[in-house]
Copies of this chain bind each other. A is one copy, B any other.
Amino acid sequence: MIDTPNLVDQYCHGVLRTELGLGTFEARLGAHLGGSAALPAAGTTFFDTQTGFAVRRWCPPLLGLEPHCPPARYLARRRELGAAEAGRRLLRASGISTYLVDTGIPGDLTGPAELGAAGAAEAHEIVRLERLAEQVADTSGTVEAFLANLAEAVHGAAADAVALASAAGARQGLASAPEPPGPGEVRGAAGRWLAARPVGGRLTDPVLLRHLLWIAVTAGRPLQLHTGDRDPAALAGFAAATAGLGADLVLLHAYPHHRAAAHLTGLHPHVYADLGPALAHTGARAAAVLAEVLERAPFGKLLFSSGARGLPELHVVAASAFRSALTRVLGEWVMDGAWSRTDAQRVAGMIAAENARRVYRLTGSR
What residues make up the interface of A, taking CB atoms closer than 8 Å to B? 33-37, 39-46, 48-50, 53-54, 56-57, 67-68, 229-230, 233, 243, 255-256, 259-260, 263, 266-270, 281-285, 288-289, 291-292, 294-301, 333, 336-340, 342-343, 347, 350, 358
Contact of A281 among B43, B67, B295, B358 (CB under 8 A): B295
A241: min CB distance to chain B, Å: 13
In the complex, the answer to whether B48 meets A298 with C-beta atoms within 8 Å is: yes
In the complex, the answer to whether B284 meets A338 with C-beta atoms within 8 Å is: yes
Number of copies: 3
In the complex, the answer to whether A291 meets B292 with C-beta atoms within 8 Å is: no
In the complex, the answer to whether B285 meets A44 with C-beta atoms within 8 Å is: no
A91 vs B43: C-alpha distance in the bound complex, in angstroms? Answer: 30
Residues of B within 8 A of A295 (CB): 50, 281-283, 285, 289
Residues of B within 8 A of A297 (CB): 49
Residues of B within 8 A of A243 (CB): 37
In the complex, the answer to whether A269 meets B37 with C-beta atoms within 8 Å is: yes
- The residue in A43, A269, A350 that gathers the most chain B C-beta atoms within 10 A of its C-beta is A269
A44 vs B297: C-alpha distance in the bound complex, in angstroms? Answer: 12
In the complex, the answer to whether A268 meets B35 with C-beta atoms within 8 Å is: yes
A26: min CB distance to chain B, Å: 11
In the complex, the answer to whether B338 meets A46 with C-beta atoms within 8 Å is: no
Residues of B within 8 A of A336 (CB): 284
Chain B residue at minimal CB-CB distance from A66: B340
A61: min CB distance to chain B, Å: 11
Residues of B within 8 A of A281 (CB): 295-296
A267 vs B267: C-alpha distance in the bound complex, in angstroms? Answer: 32
A223: min CB distance to chain B, Å: 15
Contact of A298 among B40, B294, B339 (CB under 8 A): B40
Residues of B within 8 A of A37 (CB): 243, 267-269
A49 vs B49: C-alpha distance in the bound complex, in angstroms? Answer: 33
In the complex, the answer to whether A43 meets B283 with C-beta atoms within 8 Å is: no
Tell whether A358 pairs with B259 under 8 Å between CB atoms, given A285-B294, A295-B289, A338-B53: no
